Amino acid sequence: MIERLFGELPHLFKDEDELRKLWSKPDTRKALLQGLGEKGFGVEQLGEISRMINAEKSDVFDVLAYIAFALPPITRLDRVQERRATIISSYDPKLQTFLDFVLTQYVQQGVHELDQEKLGSLLELKYHTINDATSVLGSVSMIREAFVGFQRHLYERSTKPTSGALEK
């Protein structure tokens, strides 16, 4: 299965930077995942590959980067801890609180928590209603912009060594 994926990945993105760019935006990430699914690498298969490389607590991005570029996977928790300050510092305190909540959901549940379709349910989970969320955070468009915008920082190239990246 991994060998077949090796053959397919070069057609989906040309290098690590392009993978990071595609993965850091919810719409292009979704399209990439759909493309992988159409080639036989759906959620189940990618989950199986993540288990094979001991990356169950890593992002699917790390599985793809491992296969395509031999990059050691890091856990979602390590990714968030390394980038949290950069992500949070760009927003006002109320949005910081919400984005911190989103990051916690991402660590616990995985990359699908970052889909744009999840935004409404995340707002309801945190604030009970969309109206309550907008009264605290501002307009829906501003919330959506923050939700999509912070993700580019989440997938920036690491500046730290990845020790312990393969631990379960």
Q: Token pair for residue 111?
A: 């990359």
**For position 9, what pLDDT does the model report?**
75
- The total number of residues written for the chain in this structure: 168
Average pLDDT, the chain: 90
Q: Token match 């759906």: residue? A: 42
Angle between helices 76-88 and 140-154 (to 10 degrees): 120
Average pLDDT over residues 7-26: 88
Q: Return the percentage of the chain with pLDDT > 90, whole number.
A: 74
Predicted confidence (pLDDT) per residue in 59-117, tens digit: 999 999 998 888 999 999 999 999 999 999 989 999 999 999 999 999 999 999 999 99
pLDDT computed for residue 13 by the predictor: 84
Task: Tell me the two tokens of residue 16.
Answer: 């690590």
Which value, in Å, is the radius of gyration of the alpha carbons in the chain? 16
pLDDT at 168: 34
Residue 39: predicted pLDDT:
87
- Which residue type is seen at 117? E
Alpha-carbon torsion angle 131, 133, 136, 139, nearest 10: -70
**CA–CA separation, 69 vs 61, rounded Å?**
11
Does residue 163 register a pLDDT over 60? no
Predicted structure pTM score: 0.88
Distance, in Å, from the CA atom of 123 to the CA atom of 106, rounded to the nearest integer, reads 14
Q: What are phi and psi for residue 110, nearest 5 degrees?
A: 115, 180
- Rounded Cα distance between 49 and 148, Å, is 27
Residue 165 has a pLDDT of 42
For residue 4, pLDDT over 80 is answered with no
**pLDDT band of 160, cuts 50, 70, 90:** low
